[in-house]
């Protein structure tokens, strides 16, 4: 649609401007230090500008607010002997949870794994967990 292509063009223009602020023109690129500065700068903020100002009632004690979260999200059952599965993140996110736990530890060949440490629970690939979170926590518009 025309509106979405205008939005994409505007986003690309903003991204190009932000990149150019940190790129060195004679190199036609960006070095590691400049890239880090770009990632941490306010022009790369993941926060909506409307959230810079408190827009909800925040005068109550923390216990008065509902935070939909999960503990040991990756486990299919008990925390001592059950299996670990990326599908549990799918289930949690589709159920409305927005705070999930990922216990990440080193695995074979340098690939990180998710599991409950010091227990015989099974292990699941960190890459698979992150892909599942990406797919279900941040679905494309219209899905």
Known catalytic residues are 71, 116
Length of the chain: 143
Strand, coil or helix: 69: strand
DSSP letter, residue 63: G
Q: Which of 122, 133, 118 is nearest to 84 (CA)?
A: 122
Q: Which H or E run contains 87?
A: helix 87-94
């Amino acid at each position: 649609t025309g509106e979405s292509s205008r939005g994409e063009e505007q986003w690309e223009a903003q991204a190009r401007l932000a990149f150019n602020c940190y790129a060195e023109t004679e190199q036609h690129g960006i070095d590691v230090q400049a890239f880090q500065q770009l990632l941490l700068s306010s022009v790369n903020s993941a926060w909506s500008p409307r959230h810079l100002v408190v827009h909800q009632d925040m005068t109550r004690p923390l216990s008065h607010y509902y935070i939909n979260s999960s503990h040991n999200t990756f486990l299919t059952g008990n925390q001592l002997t059950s299996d670990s599965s990326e599908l549990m993140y799918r289930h949690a996110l589709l159920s409305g949870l927005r705070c999930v736990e990922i216990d990440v530890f080193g695995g074979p060949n340098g690939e990180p794994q998710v599991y409950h440490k010091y227990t015989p629970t099974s292990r699941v690939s960190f890459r698979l967990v992150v892909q599942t979170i990406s797919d279900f926590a941040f679905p494309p518009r219209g899905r």
